[in-house]
Structure formats: structure tokens, C-alpha cells
Amino acid sequence: MILRYTGLVFLTLFLASCFMGRLPPPSGQLAELTLDASDNTAAGNLRLVNMGDKPMALASAQLVIHVGEFDVFSGSLALNLTLYGKATETVPFRSRLPSGDIAAIVAAKSLPYTIKGSILLEDDTQSQLGVDSHGILTPTPGLPGRFR
């Protein structure tokens, strides 16, 4: 009888230790994107979502945001924010696109996007969490070049 309970206790402790200390990576989504064909610029808002229960102190992000045929952002973002459990924060970004014909993209009915990179945590270990997400943006009615 004691062996049965001892085994159950050890199994419970083992399973609990498997999940302790691990933070699920934040989810990254494009909340809004504005493409300006006149000066080849992109501006948008990146939505970061903490899927876990514990707060995360985010220092910076190294990201590549690819929309349609273009990398609309490639570089680092200074975040310096605390993302609480089950919470969402929006981070603005702005970049100049490589020369090319973005007028066709501005006229698109929908734009697929991918976000890849890593986020550096402000903790004692300076650990990094990977970001790899994708989605589809649709045009905002009445606002040419704006997608959500």
C-alpha cells in the first residue's frame, strides 16, 4: 500500500517538475500594417500575447516580418516592457522597404505574413524565446494601403 502511494507521489512530482520553469513563447501577430507606395515605407503594430500565466519582462526582439513578397521589417525592436500573464501588448514598428513595385501589394485582397525571430527576456539568464507565427492581413475598407 505504501509503495503504491510512494509511486504516485513520485509520478506527481516528476510531472510537475517537467512543467515548472518553462515559459511558453509569446505569440506575435500583426495587428495593423500601412504600406505607402509613394515613399516605400511600412508602418505597423505588432501584437505580442503572453499565453502563459507568469509575467515576462521583455528586453528586445530580433524579428523578420515578411508580408507578400517583401520583408517589411528586419531588425531589432527595443521592447522594455512587462507582458503579464494572459495579456496583450502592442509594439509599433516602422521601416523603409526596398525599392520595388509595392503598388500591386497595396491593391491585394489579402496578404499572407510570417513573423520569425527571437525575444530576449530581462531576467538573470538573459534567455531567448523563439517567435514563429503566420497569418493573413485583409484591407481596411476605405483606407488604401492599410491592412489589419
Q: What is the pLDDT of residues 58-97, one digit of tens each?
A: 999 999 999 988 889 999 999 999 999 999 999 999 999 8
Please state the φ and ψ torsions of residue 93, each to the nearest 5 degrees: -145, 160
pLDDT tens per residue across span 107-146: 888 999 999 999 999 876 778 889 999 999 999 999 989 9
114 C-beta neighbours (distance < 10 Å), count: 15
Domain residue limits, the chain: 24-147
Please state the φ and ψ torsions of residue 10, each to the nearest 5 degrees: -65, -40
Q: Which fold has domain 24-147?
A: Immunoglobulin-like (2.60.40)
